[in-house]
Chain A
Amino acid sequence: MATSTLRRLGAGSRSTSAVGVVIASALLFLLTFAVFPDLFVQNLIGGVAYGMVLAIIALGLALILGLLGVVNFAHGGLFMLGAYGAYEIVVTQGLSFWVALVVIPIAVGVLGVAMEVSVLRRLYGKNPVIGLLATFGVFLMIEEATRARWGGTPLTFDIPSVLQGAIPLGVGQIATIRLLTVVVAAFIIVGIYSLMYRTDFGLTIRAGLQDREMAEFIGINIPMRFTIVFFLGSAIAGLAGVLRGAETGMDLSLGFEFVLLAFVIVIIGGVGSIFGSVVSGLLVGVSVFILPVTARALATVTGVDALNVAGIGGVVPYIVMLVVLLVRPRGLFGEEGLLE
């Protein structure tokens, strides 16, 4: 998939600038490593872990966007419901966190299917912006319903003691709950990839994408398959929410904040590419951790204090998006014709 896209986008000045950007980035990283070696390694590891967290949040969105062509803004709402649902199970019902980890993704997946059947089914094939707007309305509804049920104050719940604390690595350490998230994310990514590219089921879905009419003609039940994909995407969002709620707690702004970030990651990776959104999640995660340090390293080396821009961490994902899109107009692995 990736190689054909590369060929289509063509060689020439584009790939020269791409190479230029890659070389410049490598040089900056080396500089950072030279000036702050320990900090660089710590942040690299932390960045990869954070990147996996971002990847699992974006994966559900990428799945639905890439495979169904639907811009699902309510993804953020489902993510938030995953967190609040876990709170419900652990605190209100008093059950174990592990129960929540299994039950909530399924519940959120079902909710996602309900949303698909009632609202989104009518929007397949229409301008994707319409889907974006309709799902935004659904997102508002989910936000308010959450506020009605659990109130506006931020909440947390306790995690099992085995998940508390940190695991020491050579340089620095990683919180156990975060390590769990990384492991779960890796499993999910491998699982989805296997499903889509190693099973007949996945083959029929991809066929339905390429030519829906023909696939239905030979007897494949496309609507059911699309619904299943939607279920998977929503369940992944719910699972990410549970893990997030366990690690940092939850509040009402969680949905909007993360859906925006998820969109940026999916765009950087390229619309239509699941692999792309995983790579881009890692790229953004590492950049958020490393770029501020790079700025400091540059300022230290050149003596120009203004280079150490304060608070740049917040805009790093957007900077990455800008740079990537300037050299690769369809994101890292985007496919031509999708959402253009």
Chain B
Amino acid sequence: MRSFSRREFVKVAGAGTVVASSGLAGCTGTGGSGGGGGGGIGEEITIACPTALSGAFAPYGEAERDGGMLAARHLEEEFDVSIEIITGDSAADPNEAVSQIEGMVVDDGAHMAFGGVSSAVGIAVGAWGSENQVPVCVHGGSDDITGSQCAPYMFSTYMSNTMQLGPVAPAMADLEDDWYILYSDYTWGQTAFEAYSEALEAEGANVVGSQAVPFPTQEYNPYLNSAANSDAGGIALLVAGLDQRASTSQILSREMQDDYSFMMHQTEDVGLWGIDPAAAALLDVNSQGWSPSLDVPEDWLQEVAEVSDHDPFVRHYMGYVSVDQLVRAAVRADSLEGAAIRDELSGHEVENQTIYDLQPSADTIYWRAGDHQLVQPTHMTSGRPVEEQQNDPNKVWFDVADTMSGDDASPEPSDECER
């Protein structure tokens, strides 16, 4: 006699403890029986979270899940609904992510999905969702998500690379005339490189050289040599993951930090990579989608800290917004049918005050109908000197130096998105 559960079921009501329950094989419905043709949300809302829960990216995935859990708790208090979030470990592999979401929809009856740490996973899950009429909120930054790979059931909660460089490129051009760009050699880095080159040239600065750095790499010395050998005054580090640590630690060990201006793309996760606080301090100008150093409510940060093992950072924000928006769309549509939820979400203007508290903005935050991008403000940060860095109650190593509205950062959808 044994009992086993299909996936890690997380009951949100209460303190978010993990409870084992038997499989929901009976719950799978084919042919859209969940909503019953507009007959209301009669059952528990099941949300799938296919994300990295093992390997180097596990902290990201766990934070996404935890943010989603918090949102579900708030939603259960506000509306008369019951929400269940189930997770599946994608290990940052797109094939595995597709297999996980398929399992969660087929075997466990998930109605919608969110999460996925990398753009490749996001695109894979979004494509699956579009073929199977399941709305998905993805968390990648590649321009392709709202560009050439955009898909009808995929929604991008996170700013694209192009949006992120909005406030940053002018600041870079002000700081230095000549920049050398090092970028990770995969689509995220490649699209970032193209976007930054174009923007810098438009602002009147020069890109004097660039190097594609194989991803992942631990040896940055040859690339730093090339950068040092050029005439650049500034070095742009469009690198991801552990490379952020490797590059900055080797800059520090070569004592280069005072000789150049440094820029890094998407510094929100930097605190996680076992990085030296001095490494954060050397980064002068950075792009960051969301930061706890924005003027955000303390109690939200506190709730996140209670629910999650990790200090609040952008992935919590993304998980929270995705689950919040998906469920609200289902409530407005009064249905759990994928098509109905998608139609409600597409073009919707966010009304939830909590999100405006988290992303202070004078403009409306909305889901653009053309490419399903959540149009929201983006920020430029700079690293605090080590003495001024905050470590309690949570890590705040960067100051927000500038903010640009979403509409300015991305005036219109990319031409490549044809749906």
Contacts and interface: CB of A to CB of B under 8 A. Distances in A.
Q: Are A and B in direct contact (Cβ within 8 Å)?
A: yes
Contacts of B58: 152-153
B217 interface: yes
Interface stretch (A112-120, A194-202, A307-315): A307-315
Given A156-B274, A311-B185, A253 B222 contact: no
A177 B216 CA distance: 22
B253 interface: yes
A166 B245 contact: no
B211 to A, nearest CB: 7
Interface in B175-230: 185, 211-219, 221-223, 225-226, 228-229
A310 B229 contact: no
A39 interface: yes
Given A164-B253, A249-B245, A251-B242, A288 B219 contact: yes
A153 B274 contact: yes
Interface in B261-291: 272-276
A50 interface: yes
B225 A153 contact: no
Contact of B56 (A176, A248, A251): A251
A314 B56 CA distance: 20
Contacts of B245: 154, 156, 248-249
B230 to A, nearest CB: 9
Nearest to B221: A46
Nearest to B224: A46
Chief secondary structure at chain B's binding surface: mixed
B253 A177 contact: yes
Contacts of A311: 185, 212-215
A312 B274 CA distance: 27
Contacts of B185: 310-311, 314
Contacts of A152: 54-56, 58-59
A313 B217 contact: yes
Contacts of B56: 152, 154, 251-253
Contacts of A251: 56, 242, 274
Contact of A314 (B217, B254, B276): B217
B124 to A, nearest CB: 21
A50 B219 contact: yes
Interface in B238-252: 242, 245-246, 249-250
Interface residues of B, number: 35
B255 interface: yes
A330 interface: no
Contacts of A65: none
A292 interface: yes
Interface in A41-65: 42-43, 46-47, 50
B225 A175 contact: no
A165 interface: yes
B353 to A, nearest CB: 34
A173 B253 CA distance: 10
A153 B222 contact: no
A288 B221 CA distance: 10
A177 B254 CA distance: 10
Contact of A178 (B214, B222, B253): B253
Interface in A2-40: 36, 38-39
Contacts of B225: 39, 42-43, 46, 172, 289
B253 A247 contact: yes
A288 B214 CA distance: 11
A139 to B, nearest CB: 16
A288 B253 contact: no
Contacts of A313: 213-214, 217, 222-223
Contacts of B276: 156
A85 to B, nearest CB: 16
Interface string A168-180: 0000110111100
B274 A249 contact: yes
Which of A251, A253, A315 has most chain B Cβ within 10 Å? A251
Q: Which of A38, A50, A175, A248 has the most CB of B within 10 A?
A: A248
Interface string A297-340: 00000000000001111110000000000000000000000000
A42 B226 CA distance: 9
B254 A175 contact: yes
Nearest to A176: B253
Contacts of A253: 55-56, 216, 242
A249 B59 CA distance: 17
B54 to A, nearest CB: 7
Contacts of B253: 164-166, 175-178, 247
A166 B255 contact: yes
A293 interface: yes
A192 B275 CA distance: 35
A107 interface: no
A207 interface: no
A257 B214 CA distance: 13
B249 to A, nearest CB: 6
B212 A154 contact: no
Interface in B139-182: none
A164 B222 CA distance: 20
Contacts of B275: 156
Contacts of A257: 218
A106 B212 CA distance: 40
Q: Which of B56, B216, B222 gathers most chain A CB within 10 Å?
A: B222
Given A39-B225, A46-B221, A46-B222, A248 B246 contact: yes
A155 interface: yes
B94 to A, nearest CB: 18
25 contacts: A38-B229, A46-B221, A50-B219, A152-B58, A152-B59, A153-B272, A153-B274, A154-B242, A154-B245, A156-B245, A156-B274, A178-B253, A248-B218, A248-B245, A248-B246, A252-B56, A253-B242, A257-B218, A288-B219, A292-B211, A293-B226, A311-B213, A311-B215, A313-B213, A314-B214
Listed from nearest, the 8 A-B pairs whose CB atoms lie closest are A314-B214, A311-B185, A175-B253, A310-B212, A311-B212, A154-B274, A39-B229, A289-B222
